[in-house]
A and B are shown apart, each in its own frame.
Chain A
Amino acid sequence: MKTWQSFAQPTTGEPLAREKDNTAESELFFRRALVMLFAVFLGFLAVAGRLVYLQVLNHERFITLSESNRVRVQPLPPTRGFIFDRNGVLLADNLASYHLEITREQVKDLDATLAELRQRIELSDADIERYRKLARRAPPYTGVPLRFRLSDEEIARLAVDLYRLPGVDIKADLTRRYPLGPLAVHAIGYVGRIDESELRRLDPGQYSGSTHIGKTGVERSYEDLLRGSTGWQQVETNAEGRPLRVLSRTPPVPGQHLYLSIDVRLQAVAEKALEDYNGAIVALDPRNGEVLALASQPTYDPNPFVNGIDFASYRLLNTSRDRPLLNRALRGIYPPGSTIKPLMALAGLEYGEINRYSGVFCPGFYRLPGSSHKFRDWRRGGHGSVDMDRAIAQSCDVYFYNLAFNLGIDRIHAFLDRFHLGRPTGVDLPGEKSALLPSQEWKRRVHKHAWFAGDTISAGIGQGYFLTTPLQLAHATAVISQRGADFKPRILLATEDPGTRIKAPEAPRPLPPVTLKNPLFWNTVIAGMIHVVEGGTAHRIGIGAKYRIAGKTGTAQVFTVGQNERYNASRLARHLLDHALFVAFAPVDDPRIAVAVIAEHGGGGSKTAAPMARKVMDAYLLDKYDRPATDGARDTQGETQRDGSE
């Protein structure tokens, strides 16, 4: 007694109240606890009594109710909208296919049922194996697919006997199909089965009954438009859960058809132009930001992804050194190289560091004041005395080393940022990379190092830390061509209601224009870019052109040449060769196309990349396509729904 009484001292230090009597209180508590125990038993007894009432006395009634509980709500997944190119060529549609499903709980003898099915249709051991595996994990009373892609004949044979096989069902579903295969796959993307992380994120109501979701490309960025919305129906079922009749129905709203700004004919030309190089070609309409072609090489066929690509093929795609799954147009990051020089020249004019007549003597190298390190010019002997026009046309490095040094990185960064370099252009495709427009702040934050003057020199010719995506380069070129007018790149041209067939065009999305102190600066730089093609580094593609082109070649170093070595293409392995770049727009008087080309390890921009751009511009401006323009174009009359049942 004593021990626990001393323990019972209140810790607050107050003396016990006068009338406290622990023994009496303990007895009082005991009595009260007994009462409560009694109340607890009484309470549970009441629940038990209720259970008897429900489970014994009214069991018959409730078992009948449970068996007649036959109204089930079924989701009705919507039909996914189709995708067309700007001329109505079909890029993605849905193909009806039928599969055989078994609901385990409704089958009395599974082996007997399987044996019976085998007499009617072809069933491989692998099918049965997969069924058993899936059925183990499936929630009860749900159908599990046994055989996919039933032929019409098989369906006919099964349908006759279906009533004798409870739990066996033929289910129709629509499979996404990409009729052009790998063409434009990086723009269109593909749909795939909903995976677990997506399942957690998605609205379960909207996606019940749906198995697929857009994974990449337009399929992903316009998932909401393409999908439509799920409908519901209340069905009365028999005791086994088989639907007998529909009681009420809220129909699904089918997804919108999309028209892309892509022209597949141009897309095909661009993909072919890249030959066997890995790389990307982006073509924009500079007047409104429409993406005319978005090629990324190598490509792959999206169709196997729809119903789950097999592991070996996926690994092959995923581990390939060429990385076909990478969308190089917006996720490939490359040093812009000399293609940045027109913008650097604009920056020099804008900040008054130079005028178009200022001359620089190029001895073939550049030294920072007080340093012995030589920044070399691509031409070993130098360009001699150059002004801005010649510097752009001949791509004189020393001129731009000097200009970059005079501008300083802060002003370079501020100016180039206005052209969306180093940040997403905001194109309506998923996964666009920012790439990198270096700044002092960035280097301090990431590299924990101060910015050196040498870093500015490299940045001045688009090397060093500087990285861009092909899309950013095409976009910046489009802005130059429009003398500052800026449109967000976009791939969606119009949506179409599948029921009414009414097309709703998407409006261009203008961005705040780039305005310079003197609008004539644009002319100066554009003149330089014209001279790149007419007598400059890309003079070869100017030959025989039926329109005038303004462009800029670029070469991005992959391999750092030692201070006292020479870059010798013939002695380097292909994967160490420089990336070839070219940006251009045409015609110069009324630009209708802006192109950026990157051919990985293509050597030099003038030799490899520029002719590719010319092919694309020729096709677009002169309407020179391999196939007739109407080929594959969609017949828009008399066709209501293309479910692929034809």
Chain B
Amino acid sequence: MDRSKDDKFLRLIHLDLTLLLGLLAISSMGLVVLYSAGQRDLDLVTGQAIRLGLGFAIMLVLAQAPPHYFRFWSPWIYLVGILLLLAVMAAGDISKGARRWLDLGVLRFQPSEIMKLAVPMMMSWYFAEKPLPPRLPHLLGGVLITAVPFLLIAKQPDLGTALVVGCAGAFVLFLAGLSWTILFGLAATLSAAVPLFWTFGMHDYQRQRVLTFLDPERDPLGTGYHIIQSKIAIGSGGVYGKGWLNGTQSHLDFLPEGSTDFIFAAFSEEFGLVGGCLLLTLYSFVIARCLYMATHTPDTYTRLLAGSLTLIFFIYAFVNSGMVSGLLPVVGLPLPLFSYGGTSLVTIMAGFGILMSVYSHRRTPTR
């Protein structure tokens, strides 16, 4: 094969050039946007660059580990994660009204973050041992594996993370070959149950709450304010945008959280439809490459794991851009590699590290 020297080196350190370029393109674009969205605060950009560097370092380290390590540790990580979630329930710190943090004296962290990796790992581990497509008892086992952390996290409450964890489990089920019959059956049951539940199973105030959740503009001074301003930012950007550093919505402080959860709006205001589509294309490119890598890994465990990690990344990008543009309800998920902040960035980059590992170790026997 005709490979350049660089490519050989990247293979030696277990990195995939195509994916790496895609990730670098998105994150460098993110830094440029952050400079403007963060009111030209260079410290903010530097901080984010350091976090990104740390993320890439974690990716590099994890890429070196052979896949059977992940497989061996899957159930243990999952177990520890569950125990930590229980510990949070019992003795977690409350911040912003939700009990998410565990304080270990030196370290304060969110155990729910671990579950974003632990659930796909455990699910893949579980189904790798089972004949596929899965039979009903195994299916129930899989549902249980996902449902326990999902409920524990939803109870904190942290809807965004619960959503990610739930999706991760569902993706493994789907990729493992959950039959279409069951899938459609579930969909039909749900769509039938919702109106029934709506009419008979809910109090009036609960209905109001759900309505506000689905349509924030009903509450223009609360959650609605974010979405209204965000839509104005995106819409006023037009096709070509107002230009870098020229967004009035973000710079005149109308757009709340313009450098974190709502950075997509600040971006769309300045770079317009062209910029937005470019970013979505880049995300699609990264996801397509990851799915390609997933199909080219050796066994069921690595395939399922790689596939579900990829789709988690998609969920982040889709839910965030959908929420900011008013397509989806408001769920606090960051735009991956774009939003300012570190916690979920580390998890996302760790996911890419695992992906790199399972792909690059495919032809290297480990015995």
Binding site for B on A (CB under 8 A): 3-8, 10-12, 14, 17-20, 22, 24-26, 28-30, 32-33, 35-37, 40-41, 43-44, 46-48, 50-52, 54-56, 58-59, 61-63, 65-67, 69, 72, 137, 139-141, 241
Task: Classify chain B's interface size.
Answer: 35 or more
Tell me which of B248, B300, B311 contacts A25 (CB under 8 A): B300
Known A17-B130, A33-B175, A51-B325; contact A65-B236, beta-carbon cutoff 8 A? yes
- Hey, which chain A residues are within 8 Å of B128, CB to CB? 10
> What's the least CB distance linking A87 to chain B, in Å?
47
Cβ A58 vs Cβ B235 within 8 A: yes
Q: Is B64 an interface residue (CB 8 A)?
A: no
- Docked complex Cα distance between A7 and B362 (Å): 9
Q: Is B357 an interface residue (CB 8 A)?
A: no
- Docked complex Cα distance between A163 and B171 (Å): 62
Known A55-B276, A66-B233; contact A11-B71, beta-carbon cutoff 8 A? yes
Q: Which of A6, A41, A48 has its CB near the most chain B CB atoms (within 10 A)?
A: A48
Cβ B175 vs Cβ A32 within 8 A: yes
Which of B18-26, B83-91, B277-285 contacts the other chain? B277-285
- Docked complex Cα distance between A7 and B297 (Å): 11
Cβ B234 vs Cβ A48 within 8 A: no
Tell me which of B129, B287, B298 contacts A10 (CB under 8 A): B129
- Docked complex Cα distance between A163 and B317 (Å): 47
Cβ A29 vs Cβ B234 within 8 A: no
Cβ A54 vs Cβ B322 within 8 A: no
Contact with A along B253-268 (1 / 0, CB 8 A): 1100000000000001
Tell me which of B229, B314, B365 contacts A7 (CB under 8 A): B365
Q: In the complex, given contacts A61-B235, A140-B245, what are 7 additional A-B residue pairs having Cβ atoms less than 8 angstroms apart?
A: A26-B295, A28-B132, A28-B177, A33-B294, A62-B232, A62-B234, A139-B40
Cβ B303 vs Cβ A26 within 8 A: yes
- Docked complex Cα distance between A12 and B74 (Å): 11
Contact with A along B25-52 (1 / 0, CB 8 A): 0000000000000011100000000000
- Hey, which chain B residues are within 8 Å of A47, CB to CB? 276, 280, 318, 321-322, 325, 327
- Hey, which chain B residues are within 8 Å of A66, CB to CB? 232-233, 235-236, 248-249
Q: Is B237 an interface residue (CB 8 A)?
A: yes
- Hey, which chain B residues are within 8 Å of A6, CB to CB? 365, 367
> What's the least CB distance linking A66 to chain B, in Å?
4
- Docked complex Cα distance between A186 and B3 (Å): 74
Q: Is B272 an interface residue (CB 8 A)?
A: yes
Cβ B314 vs Cβ A22 within 8 A: no
User: Quick one: closest B residue to A138, CB to CB?
Assistant: B40
Q: Is B366 an interface residue (CB 8 A)?
A: yes
- Docked complex Cα distance between A289 and B181 (Å): 85
Known A33-B291, A50-B326; contact A4-B362, beta-carbon cutoff 8 A? yes
- Hey, which chain A residues are within 8 Å of B367, CB to CB? 6-7
- Docked complex Cα distance between A40 and B307 (Å): 12
Q: Is B133 an interface residue (CB 8 A)?
A: yes
Q: Which of A4, A37, A40, A54 has its CB near the most chain B CB atoms (within 10 A)?
A: A54
> What's the least CB distance linking A555 to chain B, in Å?
50
Q: Is B104 an interface residue (CB 8 A)?
A: no
Known A20-B131, A55-B238; contact A65-B299, beta-carbon cutoff 8 A? no
Cβ B291 vs Cβ A36 within 8 A: yes
Chain B residues numbered 99-147 whose CB sits less than 8 Å from any CB in chain A:
128-133
Cβ B295 vs Cβ A29 within 8 A: yes
- Hey, which chain B residues are within 8 Å of A52, CB to CB? 273
User: Quick one: closest B residue to A3, CB to CB?
Assistant: B365
23 sample A-B contacts, Cβ–Cβ < 8 Å, listed by A number: A7-B365, A8-B299, A10-B128, A14-B129, A17-B131, A29-B294, A32-B176, A36-B291, A37-B288, A37-B291, A43-B314, A46-B327, A48-B280, A50-B325, A54-B235, A54-B325, A56-B239, A62-B235, A72-B252, A139-B41, A140-B40, A140-B245, A140-B251
Known A22-B300, A66-B232; contact A141-B132, beta-carbon cutoff 8 A? no
Cβ A36 vs Cβ B288 within 8 A: no
- Docked complex Cα distance between A220 and B212 (Å): 46
Cβ A44 vs Cβ B318 within 8 A: yes
Known A47-B325, A140-B245; contact A241-B252, beta-carbon cutoff 8 A? yes
Known A4-B298, A12-B72, A47-B318; contact A62-B231, beta-carbon cutoff 8 A? yes
> What's the least CB distance linking A77 to chain B, in Å?
17
Report whether over half of chain A's contact residues are helix, strand or loop; otherwise say mixed.
helix
User: Quick one: closest A residue to B70, CB to CB?
Assistant: A11
Q: Is B304 an interface residue (CB 8 A)?
A: yes
Tell me which of A44, A59, A69 contacts B280 (CB under 8 A): A44
Binding site for A on B (CB under 8 A): 39-41, 68, 71-72, 128-133, 171, 174-177, 229, 231-239, 245, 248-249, 251-254, 268, 272-273, 276-277, 280, 283-284, 287-288, 291, 294-295, 298-301, 303-304, 307, 311, 314, 317-318, 321-322, 325-327, 362-363, 365-367
> What's the least CB distance linking A359 to chain B, in Å?
60
- Docked complex Cα distance between A25 and B277 (Å): 35
- Hey, which chain B residues are within 8 Å of A67, CB to CB? 236
Report whether over half of chain B's contact residues are helix, strand or loop; otherwise say mixed.
helix
- Docked complex Cα distance between A140 and B327 (Å): 30
- Hey, which chain B residues are within 8 Å of A35, CB to CB? 174
Closest 3 CB pairs of A and B: A62-B235, A8-B299, A4-B298
Cβ A36 vs Cβ B174 within 8 A: yes
- Docked complex Cα distance between A54 and B325 (Å): 8
> What's the least CB distance linking A233 to chain B, in Å?
15
Cβ A51 vs Cβ B273 within 8 A: yes
> What's the least CB distance linking B341 to chain A, in Å?
17
- Hey, which chain A residues are within 8 Å of B300, CB to CB? 8, 20, 22, 25, 29
- Hey, which chain A residues are within 8 Å of B253, CB to CB? 72
- Hey, which chain B residues are within 8 Å of A72, CB to CB? 252-253
- Docked complex Cα distance between A137 and B35 (Å): 12
- Hey, which chain B residues are within 8 Å of A33, CB to CB? 175, 291, 294-295, 307
Known A10-B71, A40-B314, A50-B326; contact A55-B234, beta-carbon cutoff 8 A? yes
Cβ B318 vs Cβ A28 within 8 A: no
- Docked complex Cα distance between A46 and B321 (Å): 10
- Docked complex Cα distance between A5 and B239 (Å): 51
- Hey, which chain A residues are within 8 Å of B365, CB to CB? 3-4, 6-7
- Hey, which chain B residues are within 8 Å of A19, CB to CB? 131
- Hey, which chain B residues are within 8 Å of A140, CB to CB? 39-40, 245, 251
- Hey, which chain A residues are within 8 Å of B130, CB to CB? 17
Cβ A36 vs Cβ B248 within 8 A: no
Cβ A18 vs Cβ B248 within 8 A: no
Cβ A56 vs Cβ B238 within 8 A: yes
Q: Which of A40, A69, A139, A241 has its CB near the most chain B CB atoms (within 10 A)?
A: A40
Cβ A69 vs Cβ B254 within 8 A: yes
Tell me which of B68, B232, B237, B277 contacts A65 (CB under 8 A): B232
Q: Which of A17, A47, A67, A137 has its CB near the most chain B CB atoms (within 10 A)?
A: A47
Cβ B314 vs Cβ A55 within 8 A: no
- Docked complex Cα distance between A426 and B61 (Å): 53
Cβ A55 vs Cβ B272 within 8 A: yes
Q: Which of A36, A52, A67 has its CB near the most chain B CB atoms (within 10 A)?
A: A36
> What's the least CB distance linking B247 to chain A, in Å?
9
- Hey, which chain B residues are within 8 Å of A32, CB to CB? 174-177, 307
- Hey, which chain A residues are within 8 Å of B239, CB to CB? 55-56, 59
Cβ A55 vs Cβ B232 within 8 A: no
Tell me which of B39, B236, B318 contacts A62 (CB under 8 A): B236
Cβ B249 vs Cβ A63 within 8 A: no
- Docked complex Cα distance between A218 and B317 (Å): 53
- Hey, which chain A residues are within 8 Å of B318, CB to CB? 40, 43-44, 47
- Hey, which chain B residues are within 8 Å of A40, CB to CB? 284, 287-288, 311, 314, 318
- Hey, which chain B residues are within 8 Å of A44, CB to CB? 280, 283-284, 317-318, 321
- Hey, which chain A residues are within 8 Å of B321, CB to CB? 44, 47
- Docked complex Cα distance between A28 and B233 (Å): 43
Q: Which of A5, A12, A14, A72 has its CB near the most chain B CB atoms (within 10 A)?
A: A12
- Hey, which chain A residues are within 8 Å of B287, CB to CB? 37, 40
User: Quick one: closest A residue to B303, CB to CB?
Assistant: A29
